[in-house]
Structure 1
């Protein structure tokens, strides 16, 4: 069975991402073509990158890096849930991504973002990062507005159209994850 990790990329206290990730998981769990699991970056307590060697060498020496690598390697693709902070991705998410290399390779990735402009600028940065990590980013993305998909900027109430967009994003991530399987096997 294809396994997709739903990566919750914000570690901020009071973050909106938890509700968004749960919504993604709830919608995704109704599918029968893949298994889905929320992976919360906060749970891994990753310090600022503290590995002596570049991630591309795969010489991970820290126990937290090894645990993170094992979890990320267990998936065939990802949905990254991210806020937009200062026109980009949260530092904790970028740091978590930078810890690893081969574990990301030849896997599909889709994005569910939120912010004042729907998180689009964070997604554009993530697309460039994904390319460097040999990930296939899908076209469809969910762009949640703090003005229209959240009540008082904090209570998540997505518009109906967002569910349709999420389903399309999930369709693409699952299909591409399956299509990339031969590359992961070699």
Structure 2
């Protein structure tokens, strides 16, 4: 069963390091070998703050930026959200992106790779996991934190994790694959039942 993983860069702030960390994780996940991996940058979608008149559950999107974001999220079986911690919380850009959609998230699995100061963004990841659960995502408890992140960025701007981070990333991908496989089967069963009822 082919599974697609979207690695989502959650910050859109100028000067962010999210792209460097996410690029490392995208390459690491591809080498892991259990997913087709796509790197997704929220900055490319230019999503305004909740500018759709209809509830996202209706999927009656008026704007092309929302339709593009919807197609991106719908294409994935699983997600890893790469998020900083802003004021003990995930960035507003990421919260907005999650809340802009609804059904596209349902019955999918997600992991979080967080970065920040001494806590490694763990408070941000906890808030994000709760939000994801509220849109029917199975948010893994296995979070990969990056504490004091500047020490892992080299002079070329590349992220260089330590052994604990790579071990954590492998464990998260292993769990993500288990859940994504099971949830894809669940989604397919639901689609078949809906088609039979139509």
Q: Which TM-score band applies after superposition, normalised by the shorter structure? A: over 0.9
Query: What is the SS of the residue equivalent to 2:178?
Result: helix
Counterpart Cα distance in 1 of 2:162 and 2:34: 25
Which structure 2 residue ranges, 5 or more long, are not aligned? 191-198
Structure (1 or 2) with the greater helix fraction: 2
**Max radius of gyration: which structure?**
2
Corresponding position: 1:9 with 2:10: yes
Counterpart Cα distance in 2 of 1:124 and 1:31: 25
Corresponding position: 1:124 with 2:133: no
Structure (1 or 2) with the greater strand fraction: 1
Counterpart Cα distance in 2 of 1:159 and 1:65: 37
**What residue is the counterpart of 1:168 in the other structure?**
171
Counterpart Cα distance in 1 of 2:150 and 2:174: 25
Counterpart Cα distance in 2 of 1:150 and 1:174: 27
Contact 1:109 1:173 (8 Å CA) reproduced: yes
Contact 1:113 1:122 (8 Å CA) reproduced: yes
**What residue is the counterpart of 1:103 in the other structure?**
104
Counterpart Cα distance in 1 of 2:151 and 2:168: 13
Contact 2:115 2:149 (8 Å CA) reproduced: no
Which structure 1 residue ranges, 5 or more long, are not aligned? none
**What residue is the counterpart of 2:159 in the other structure?**
156
